[in-house]
Amino acid sequence: MILIVDSGSTKCDWIAVDKNGKQCFEKVRTKGLNPAILSEKKLKKTIKSSDILMENKKDVTHIFFYGAGCGTEKPKMLLKGVLESVFKNAVVEVQEDTMAAVRATLNSKDEAAVVCILGTGSNCSYFDGQQLHQRVNSLGYTLMDDASGNYFGKQLIRDYYFNHMPEDLKVAFASKYNVESDYIKYNLYKQPNPNAYLAAFAEFMFLNKESTYISNLIKNGIKLFAKNMIFQFKDVLPNVPVHFAGSIAFYSQDEIKEVAKELGFTVGNFERRPIEGLLKFHVKDLS
């Protein structure tokens, strides 16, 4: 049995297939497994919370894991060790989430493209057809992650408190979320996964996209992301498409296309859930 796993900071999708590419059981979803922000104990606890995974752990021979927080060696090896300790018969490969986005969005295995992730967090890299290139070492959600779910969540809360949000949206925002300052600070500073907590507010944008305020908020975030991340690869942009993966990108397609037209880059494919593209990629390799 082969496990193909796609994990963000918020959620993690697991698909099991046999050597013929046939799915063994329904897709499993657990909480996110980000080794850059979670301890070994919490990573193990999350994996073991799935009865289906535990029932089949002895049958797993290979794991292809793609995840947020796996872009540097120390957290990558931490997670690899955790997976090997749970799935003792499996050969484990851990890749950063950017490679999942690459393999899920490319039109062909050797296509050159700039590939972006806009989900709970954000990232951008260039795939030359063989190798992945990154020109920014991410410092995480506190300092980076422009145009991500946690970025937009932070902007919404700030605008609410600084009175930059239109009054009708302030009322709607306060009725949907607990906006008491003590509650927000408790979740940001005393609870695990503050980035996922912030990202949960981003849904509000897509429920209110008819608002000029929301439209501008999304486009300004995407422009910032383009300036800081996409244009790191300005030397190749005239010749390659820019693909996008993640739920924020998927629901912001119109705004992304507007920004692309304004700034002069070519938008390629959108993939809401990379796990579907990864399944096709690995099944093709098995056949």
Class of domain 2-101+274-286: alpha beta
Q: What is the pLDDT of residue 21?
A: 84
CA 74 to chain centre: 20
CA 197 to chain centre: 14
Average pLDDT rounded to a whole number, residues 10-38 = 91
- pLDDT tens for 87-100 read 999 999 999 888 88
Cβ-Cβ contacts under 8 Å for 203 (sequence gap 6 or more): none
Give the tokens for residue 71.
């872009």
- pLDDT tens for 149-186 read 999 999 999 999 999 999 999 999 999 999 999 999 99
Of all residues in the chain, what percent carry a pLDDT higher than 90? 81
- pLDDT tens for 211-235 read 999 999 999 999 999 999 999 999 9
Give the tokens for residue 97.
């989430």
pLDDT tier, 19 (very low <50, low <70, confident <90, very high otherwise): confident
Q: What is the pLDDT of residue 20?
A: 83
Position 197 pLDDT exceeds 60: yes
Cβ-Cβ contacts under 8 Å for 32 (sequence gap 6 or more): 7, 8, 9, 10, 11, 12, 46, 67, 68, 120, 193, 196
Backbone angles phi, psi at 62, to 5 degrees: -140, 145
Backbone angles phi, psi at 29, to 5 degrees: -120, 130
Position 285 pLDDT exceeds 90: no
Q: What percent of the chain is helix, strand and coil (3-state, nearest 5)?
A: 45, 20, 35
What angle, rounded to 10 degrees, do the helices at 149-161 and 167-176 form?
A: 120
The predicted model scores a pTM of 0.81
Q: Which of 8, 6, 3, 4 has its CA nearest to residue 38?
A: 8
Q: Which of 93-97, 108-112, 276-280 has the lowest mean pLDDT?
A: 276-280
Measured between alpha carbons, how far is residue 214 from residues 34, 44, 159, 246, 267 in Å? 29, 39, 11, 19, 22
pLDDT tier, 274 (very low <50, low <70, confident <90, very high otherwise): confident
d(CA 118, CA 101): 10
- pLDDT tens for 39-61 read 999 999 999 999 999 999 999 99
Q: Which of 128, 126, 154 has its CA nearest to residue 140?
A: 154
Give the tokens for residue 140.
């995480």
pLDDT tier, 25 (very low <50, low <70, confident <90, very high otherwise): very high
Average pLDDT rounded to a whole number, residues 254-283 = 91
Q: What ranges do the domains of the chain cover?
A: 2-101+274-286
